[in-house]
Structure 1
């Protein structure tokens, strides 16, 4: 079987390659660059709890040591503090990973890609081809052939192609996929500087700062901490395409630092600058035969504090576990089709929410008719985007997915809605070790989690053959997909002996009351896209064998 060809060596492409390799799928990553990333502190990303856990699981690197988990969040309007949030220190307390208010992680993008490249350097199933720019794709029923130009231009043969090659995606263009939307929804001037600010470790959104003057600073500035006393500051620019000159940017820096310090401008070291332009676009199709697109190649979003990389990493996580069984066992078309159905719907909902909120947040028109207490309501919507909450910022659920089972007789509610990411509780693995639930994801297996109070104080050998465990273990063995049986003392909203079925990407399939083998099998089969249909050749062979036996 030919490898999966991944076009693009940014965070999404590298994450997808690692995720596939962990499921024993070989990959070729086509990198049009030299194989390393230019250090740019003005290019940083904010990762939520689930995407941080995904990268840490794949790389084995605790990202909190390379980035900064925010200690808190402050939202200020003029001189008034509108909202303060204190985060649970998940980086320092592993038991807090499933807490309701985990800290976002702010990390320089080149540091993130560096961690991914280091992990891939020791991965024998992944080959990275540098200075290889894609210029042709040819696909047929049995595979895909692509051509690259460059010093070592050649043809490559693959089983599937995934375009992770950014908003100007060559893969998307070669597949003639439309990419409608809006250009320059927002523009921000960006500066990375080393400076001491009054809010150590806290991110800050300051709207309508009182020191603003005509042509400087604008109406909104955001400060986000990075390691070693470095801060990234973003100033929302007025509509238009006015040039951001070095003089204007230095004026922004000096005025903002002086305003925050309530005195003279403190000493600072300017490290990097840039202009960040936000577009809102959504590809019409995310799959054409054996060719897929992901990340910025499939969607652009980022207004109102949201961060598109989170969604790109979720694309990679969603697609990896669906490509793996297709590579190992043959295509499951319904399963592969569900990638577009699930992911496009989630991103479309976030884009709609942001586009609907933009006129209210940026002009204030009609806000009172939508939100009680217009200033605080406006601030709450902006905070949702920055912190990954609400319709604008929170991770989506797949409740309406074609992979969601119909009503099951034994289904019971838990605090996690069907199709949503599961809570990261401590579990006992099959080898008797205590681990976090998310540590078992992405291994090419579904997870079956039994809630059994009291098991945490006994060694697994004492209860693994007692009570309902043998019957549940037999049901798990009979599932149509590899599955791992885990046990937890408790789970939010779950009664004792509840059985949870979790997809390899961490989304809940169903929760059942007790051991119900038929329901469990039906739910797992539906989550895989339904029963596997025999190919035309297999049907012909079966017919011949039947005829020969008569």
Structure 2
């Protein structure tokens, strides 16, 4: 069987290659560049909890070593702090060892503070650090080949596979089973497949600077809307600050609509006035390390699959206004597609399963873009939000915080509630706090070898996961209860499923009663929750999650019909 061809060696393409390798599928990554990334501190990414965990699982590297998790989030309007979120799962000393109270910084007597708490904070990391970690992992991976200076200029498909031609020093033809275009906004793959890419250009534009400086709120990310030193224009001079390691910060200034040139003098002026405004009048010492201009576009490809060719990441969608992160969605594309391609590579294609990639992922991204398009005129035009959030008194800052923190319609991970892979409804369904199609909660489970591991550690291996909720089992060794109670019957039901599955046991799960059985896809989305051991319902749900019963070859079908 030929490898999967991945066009593009950005974070999405590299992550997809590693995700396929984890499921014993070989791939070749066609990289039009030299095989390394320019070090740019002004080019960073923010990863939500699920995508950061995915990358750590694939790279085998704790990304916090090269990135930074915020100790808190502060949203300010002029001089008042109107929203402050503390992250409650990073320990009392914060991620960098600094005391939590010290991270609060000075409080202004005029502050109007609304505090909340949150779980694990987003991870802020330079993109070159992220890609380096992925490249290092690929260098040790026998199933991934990277071809540098290889730019695709032709793609041909037939029933048995796909062929891509690259130009450059290593001009050649590459044969593959499938091809995935992860080659960015100007995707050659998308253009060669004649796929339209409609949307909006320059939805937002930001001036960006990376600098080393001490700010009054160490470790906290900051959104300052309409600061008093910048009141002109519809944006009010909105500025965002996100901490990095080693005292480095990335600052973003929202620019007014238009194509005005961002000169070095303008950037230095914005740096100085912003730092002075935050520090009480005098500009503190700082080192300007890198600058740039970041333009946000909103686009969505009409199709994400043409035969054996797929699109993922920026080749399929562009988003990023109001604090949302396009890379998050690109990584979720890779996670969604990897297990489906792996199943097709090992066991033959299930067309319904392969088609579900576009159905699921395009719907989620389209919903995110719709939410941003609805909010943009309200947030940038200064109007009220009651038409957007009926019956709510939520302000601009709260909605913006959702985008930055990965919450709500702007930022929360999407659920595949309308997926063609949804399990049929049965009387044995058990209500839990996770809806079918949504991501499961990362609870601790006991694996088949008796070890205690996070549930997320068992994802991405190509197998379905069956999780039994059994309070009290955590205090006993697995050998003492694996053959007791309902376990033998459940183990037999799992072994009879139409695809390989791993049986796990958890002490508890949010909203789940004892003896609830969860069926989870390889990408961590819930298929169904059943009340006890229901072999027939479990089998039907697993079959639905795989796209339905596998199609029989014509000859087999004809033979069956003749009998």
Q: Would you say same fold, with TM above 0.5?
A: yes
Tell me the distance in 1 between the aligned counterparts of 2:318 and 2:474: 45
Q: What is the deviation of 1:263?
A: 2.5
1:340 partnered with 2:358 = yes
Q: Is the 8 A contact 1:175 1:288 kept in 2?
A: yes
| Per-residue deviation, 1:374 | 9.4
Counterpart pick for 1:484 among 502, 510, 517:
502
- What residue number does 1:81 align with? 81
1:82–1:376: 8 Å Cα contact kept in structure 2? no
Aligned position for 1:5: 5
Q: Which residue of 1 aligns with 2:479?
A: 461
Aligned 8 A contact 2:164 2:175 in 1: yes
Counterpart pick for 1:233 among 241, 251, 262: 251
Which ranges in structure 2 are unaligned for 5 or more consecutive residues? 96-116
Assess if the C-alpha contact under 8 Å between 2:185 and 2:314 holds in 1. yes
Please tell me whether the aligned partners of residues 85 and 118 of structure 2 are also in contact (alpha carbons under 8 angstroms).
no
SS in 1 for 2:152: strand
Taking the aligned partners of 1:375 and 1:233, their CA distance within structure 2 comes to 29
- 2:71 touches 2:94 (CA, 8 Å); kept in 1? no
The offset of 1:366, in angstroms, is 4.9
Rounded to whole Å, the distance in 2 between the matches of 1:53 and 1:206 is 29
The normalised TM-score by structure 2 is 0.93
1:292-332 deviations in Å (ceiling 9; x for gaps)? 00000000000000000000000000000100010001000
Q: Contact 2:234–2:381 at 8 Å: present in 1 too?
A: no
- Structure 1: distance between partners of 2:528 and 2:235: 50
Residues 1:86 and 1:252: Cα distance change in structure 2 (over 3 Å):
same
Deviations 1:385-411 (A, max 9, x none): 111100111110011101001212211
**Could you tell me which residue of structure 1 aligns to residue 112 of structure 2?**
none
**In 1: Cα distance, 2:541 partner to 2:221 partner:** 42
Match of 1:330 in 2: 348
Deviation sequence 1:186-219 (CA, Å, 0-9, x none): 0000000000111111000000001126599952
Partner of 2:184: 166
Aligned match of 1:390: 408
Aligned counterparts, 1:143-158, within 5 A: 143-158=161-176
How many residue pairs align between the two structures?
541
Paired residue secondary structure (1:442): coil
SS for the counterpart of 1:188 is strand
User: Secondary structure at the residue paired with 2:174?
Assistant: strand
Match of 1:362 among 380, 397, 401: 380
In 2, Cα distance between equivalents of 1:373 and 1:349: 21
Q: For the Cα contact (< 8 Å) 1:295–1:311, is it kept in 2?
A: yes
Which residue matches 1:426?
A: 444
Gaps of 5+ in 1: none
Alignment map for 1:276-355 (pairs within 5 Å) = 276-355=294-373
Partner of 1:475: 493
Cα-Cα RMSD: 1.9
Q: What are the equivalent positions in structure 2 for 1:33-432 lying under 5 Å apart?
A: 33-90=33-90, 101-212=119-230, 218-367=236-385, 369-370=387-388, 376-432=394-450
Shift of 1:88: 2.7
1:342 partner SS: helix
CA–CA separation in structure 1 for the residues paired with 2:214 and 2:391? 34
User: What is the deviation of 1:377?
Assistant: 1.6
The CA distance in 2 between the partners of 1:375 and 1:409, in whole Å, is: 40
* SS of equivalent residue, structure 1 residue 193: strand
Q: Is the CA contact (8 Å cut-off) linking 1:218 and 1:235 kept in structure 2?
A: no
Please give the TM-score of this superposition, normalised by the length of structure 1.
0.96
Q: Secondary structure at the match of 2:142?
A: coil
Match of 2:15 in 1: 15
Secondary structure, counterpart of 1:272 in structure 2: strand
Specify whether residues 88 and 214 from structure 1 end up closer, same or farther in structure 2 by C-alpha distance, changes over 3 A only. Answer: same
Q: Give 1:268 deviation, angstroms.
A: 0.4
